[in-house]
Amino acid sequence: MFNEMNVLMLGILGLFAVGLYALLAVRNLIKIVVALQILVKGAIMAFILAGKINGHMQTAQSVALTVIVADTMVAVIGLALAVQVKRRLGTLDVNELTSLRG
Amino acid sequence: MYYSNAILTLVVTPLLSAPLIYLIGRLFMRTGRAGAASNASQLASLLALAGTWKAYIDIVLQFNRSSATALRYITGSVPLQVDGLSILLAGLALTLGTLVVIYSRMYMRNEDGEEKYYAMLVAMTGAMIGLACAADLFNLWVWFEVMALTSYLLVAFYREQKASLEAGVKYLVQSAAGSSLVLLAIALVFMETGTLDLYRIGASAVGTPLMLAAGALFVAGFGVKAALVPFHTWLPDAHAQAPSGISAMLSGVVIEAGLVALLRAISALMAVTLSWGVLLMIFGALNMLVGNLIALKQTQVKRLLAFSSLSHVGYMVMGLGIALHAGTAAGATGGVFHLINHGLMKGLAFLAVGALLYALHIAKGSHNPLTISDLAGAAKRYPLATLALSIAVLGLGGLPPLAGFMSKWQILVAGVQANNRLIFYLVIFAALNSVLSLGYYAPIVNAVYRQKPSAAVLNGSSLPLSMQVPMVLLLLAVVVLGLWPGLVQWLTDPAGNAIMATFGGY
């Protein structure tokens, strides 16, 4: 029951559940960037589990490293946008971002 | 392996030169002369693109001479391939990228961070070329992510504008969530098959529940970038708020690149389910209807064009769906022909609207959106830009002697030839949608030619030559492709065949 495969599997499901819930429920822009990070961390764990199952651990690890670099850049751009939003609009609440409609 | 160098040059040149373009721009900014930085970075961009063009032409010549369906080249552990579809997408990206670099000369002048704009534009072009040539699921994702990163920055380029920031935030959150779903899907496929190579996945994929889940995640994740309908809500904001040259790139190639990525991913999972064709046709119908209906009530021209992109993605997806469902290569050929035509026509439309926006608003330092009523009577003062806009929107609406008609016609004929009642109804639905789309294209032409000039037009400034040259070239392309559609058969036939070959070789 509590072998490492199951723990990894639960971890992936848990991270995706938390990330998707946070994307829908959270209104603070910085917390949304954190939610995106949590989603990608779940996907990285899925790669590690996949490497463990099919025995191609080297490929899985190199993919995981590349993904960490790529999603850090997404976080950087997201936070840079958050800084600009705070400066121009004076708030981080995404519900205030409603000027474009229809 | 005589073509291997050319493939490597094609993929690597734009990406490596992007930081150089930025550095050159910064260095010339130190000299303090007005316009030195923008001239230098623009010239560097054009040089980088010229190098890429040379590699591209080499590859096309090699490809046409060899009888192979795909040229494959493995560097390190990164497999690259060039098939008909890659040549088509890379060619479209390079064409529009080059024209937009020329076009942006005056449009972006004196904007803060102009050198970053050119560097990002070249990097985005390079990322799309790489995406077209990727032969590995994970590399596909990496190129896709590079393309997305550069486009976030370009959409939010006017960072003092609240509307641009809002569009950038929406785009980043939706697109990043989509790409994390794609990543999970790749992990599932890797778990099941033990490989990331598209060919080997295609050989070993079977319809297990995990693979089905991966297919669904691919459709949702890449669907965000390709603007399939329930995932499209970022598109009108991002395309309307970006600088106009970038709008032309986003609408003309970036969403098509998302579509190609989706095709590549699900082509590896072809054996998983038989319903890919039906799924694509449903998305096609939804896209056409939703795009057209929302576009009908738009008053801002760029937003209207953004929504019309939705319906045109619908036509492409429908053509590909017909091809997969009925096994007719004509549908795939029509779909990719529409991909080229839409890239050229939508590129032309956004460049023309951007030129008018520049003349009426931006040259005066205002960032107001361009509405249809602003355009009233603009033909008197801006004959070239308004002619380009009219030809582009009429072509998009599918009037006969123009490019858009030819590709729509090819898709509809392929649908009728499939001899299937449901596809026949879909064809009628698509034809009616094409008529419906004239309901929002025609008022633009009417306003431009038949109304009294508005105050904004009378006070407008003149158009620089650097904007007129790209418009004239694209205008000629749209008219010539409508009169002689056979001219691009060397591009569309191999691309259609490549799609059919990857989907199990009918």
Look up the CATH number of the domain holding residue A50: 1.10.287.3510
Backbone phi, then psi, for B72, in 5-degree steps?
Answer: -110, 145
Size of the A and B interface in Cβ pairs below 8 Å: 112
Residue A98 domain-assigned (yes or no)? no
CB B130 within 8 A of CB B257: no
Task: Work out the angle at residue B447's Cα, subtended by the Cα atoms of residues B446 and B450, and round it to the nearest 5 degrees.
Answer: 65
Look at the alpha carbons of A9, A12, A16, A17 in this order and tell me if their dihedral is positive or negative. Answer: positive
Q: At a CB cut-off of 8 Å and minimum separation 6, what does B289 contact? A: B311, B314, B433
**B84: exposed, middle or buried (C-beta count within 10 Å: 0-12, 13-18, 19+)?**
buried
| B171 → chain A, closest CA residue | A78
Selecting from B160, B163, B190 the residue whose C-beta is nearest the C-beta of A50 gives B190
Task: Work out the angle at residue B231's Cα, subtended by the Cα atoms of residues B227 and B234, and round it to the nearest 5 degrees.
Answer: 75
Check B173 against A32: CB less than 8 A apart: yes
Q: Average pLDDT for residues A59-80, to the nearest whole number?
A: 93
Cα A51 versus chain centre, distance: 20
Determine what percent of chain B is predicted with pLDDT higher than 70. 98
Angle formed by the axes of helices B255-268 and B209-226, nearest 10°: 170
Residue A97 domain-assigned (yes or no)? no
Cα separation, B442 vs B425, in Å, equals 26
Q: At a CB cut-off of 8 Å and minimum separation 6, what does A19 contact? A: A35, A36, A38, A39, A42, B180
Residue A101 domain-assigned (yes or no)? no
pLDDT of residue B245: 92
Question: Which residues in B lie closer than 8 A to residue A29 (C-beta atoms)?
Answer: 169
Distance from CA of B191 to the nearest CA of A (A): 4
Cα separation, B492 vs B342, in Å, equals 14
Neighbours of B381 (CB within 10 A): 18
Residue A29 domain-assigned (yes or no)? yes
Specify the higher pLDDT residue, B325 or B76: B325
Backbone phi, then psi, for B420, in 5-degree steps?
Answer: -135, 130
Check B180 against A36: CB less than 8 A apart: yes
Q: How confident is the model at residue B206 (pLDDT cuts 50, 70, 90)?
A: confident
Enclosing domain of residue A78: 4-92
DSSP state of B452: P
pLDDT of residue B97: 94
Question: Which residues in B lie closer than 8 A to residue A91 (C-beta atoms)?
Answer: none
| A76 → chain B, closest CA residue | B149
Q: Which residues does residue B371 pair with via DSSP β-bridges, in sequence order?
A: B300
Look at the alpha carbons of B296, B300, B305, B309 in this order and tell me if their dihedral is positive or negative. Answer: negative
Q: Average pLDDT for residues B76-101, to the nearest whole number?
A: 90
Helices (H), ranges, B80-161: 84-107, 114-133, 137-155
Q: Average pLDDT for residues B457-470, to the nearest whole number?
A: 86
Neighbours of B359 (CB within 10 A): 24
Neighbours of B336 (CB within 10 A): 33
DSSP state of B110: T
pLDDT of residue B504: 64
Residue A102 domain-assigned (yes or no)? no
| B154 → chain A, closest CA residue | A77
Look at the alpha carbons of B296, B298, B299, B303 in this order and tell me if their dihedral is positive or negative. Answer: negative
Residue entry with tokens 């392996």: B1
DSSP, residue by residue, B384-441: HHHHHHHHHHHHHHT-TTSHHHHHHHHHHHHHHHT--HHHHHHHHHHHHHHHHHHHHH
**Chain B: which residues have CB within 8 Å of chain A?**
138, 142, 145, 148-149, 152-153, 156, 159-160, 162-163, 165-170, 172-173, 176-177, 180-181, 183-184, 186-188, 190-191, 193-196, 236-237, 240-241, 294, 297-298
Distance from CA of B81 to the nearest CA of A (A): 20
Most confidently predicted of A82-91, B77-86, B340-349: B340-349
Cα separation, B452 vs A20, in Å, equals 53
Task: Check pLDDT > 70 for residue B5.
Answer: yes
Distance from CA of B457 to the nearest CA of A (A): 25
Interface test with B, best of A12, A81, A93 (most B CBs within 10 A): A81
| B296 → chain A, closest CA residue | A102
Q: Average pLDDT for residues A63-86, to the nearest whole number?
A: 93
Q: Average pLDDT for residues B272-283, to the nearest whole number?
A: 87
CB B190 within 8 A of CB A64: no
Selecting from B138, B156, B187 the residue whose C-beta is nearest the C-beta of A46 gives B187
Q: How confident is the model at residue B506 (pLDDT cuts 50, 70, 90)?
A: very low
Interface test with A, best of B180, B190, B368 (most A CBs within 10 A): B180
Check A89 against B167: CB less than 8 A apart: no
CB B408 within 8 A of CB B438: no
Of B49, B51, B73, the closest CA to residue B62 belongs to B73
Distance from CA of A77 to the nearest CA of B (A): 8
CB A51 within 8 A of CB B191: no
Q: CA of B443: how far to CAs of B355, B446, B450, B499, in Å?
A: 19, 5, 10, 38
DSSP state of B231: G
pLDDT of residue A1: 57
Question: Which residues in B lie closer than 8 A to residue A40 (C-beta atoms)?
Answer: 180, 183
Interface test with A, best of B183, B193, B200, B241 (most A CBs within 10 A): B183
Least confident of B196-210, B275-289, B478-492: B196-210
Question: Which residues in A lie closer than 8 A to residue B163 (C-beta atoms)?
Answer: 99-100
CB B341 within 8 A of CB B375: no
Check A43 against B187: CB less than 8 A apart: yes
Residue-wise pLDDT tens digits, B335-382 = 999 999 999 999 999 999 999 999 888 888 788 888 888 888 888 889
Task: Check pLDDT > 70 for residue B505.
Answer: no
Distance from CA of B230 to the nearest CA of A (A): 15
Residue A64 domain-assigned (yes or no)? yes
Cα separation, A55 vs B433, in Å, equals 51
DSSP state of B376: T
Residue A52 domain-assigned (yes or no)? yes
pLDDT of residue B111: 78
Mean pLDDT, chain B, integer: 89
Residue-wise pLDDT tens digits, B212-249 = 999 999 999 999 999 998 888 899 999 999 999 999 99
Residue-wise pLDDT tens digits, B404-455 = 899 999 999 999 988 888 899 999 999 999 999 999 999 999 998 988 888 7
Determine what percent of chain B is predicted with pLDDT higher than 90. 54
Selecting from A49, A70, A78 the residue whose C-beta is nearest the C-beta of B191 gives A49
CB B180 within 8 A of CB A43: yes
Check B172 against A74: CB less than 8 A apart: yes
Cα separation, B260 vs B155, in Å, equals 21
Q: Can you give the C-alpha Rg of chain B in angstroms?
A: 22
Domain count, chain A: 1
Cα separation, B491 vs B86, in Å, equals 10
Specify the higher pLDDT residue, B383 or B273: B383
Q: Average pLDDT for residues B270-287, to the nearest whole number?
A: 87
Cα separation, B4 vs B457, in Å, equals 53
Dihedral, CA of residue A17, residue A18, residue A21 and residue A22, to nearest 10: -150
Q: CA of B36: how far to CAs of A16, B24, B28, B299, B474, in Å?
A: 49, 10, 6, 38, 28
Residue A23 domain-assigned (yes or no)? yes
Neighbours of B180 (CB within 10 A): 29
Q: How confident is the model at residue B203 (pLDDT cuts 50, 70, 90)?
A: confident
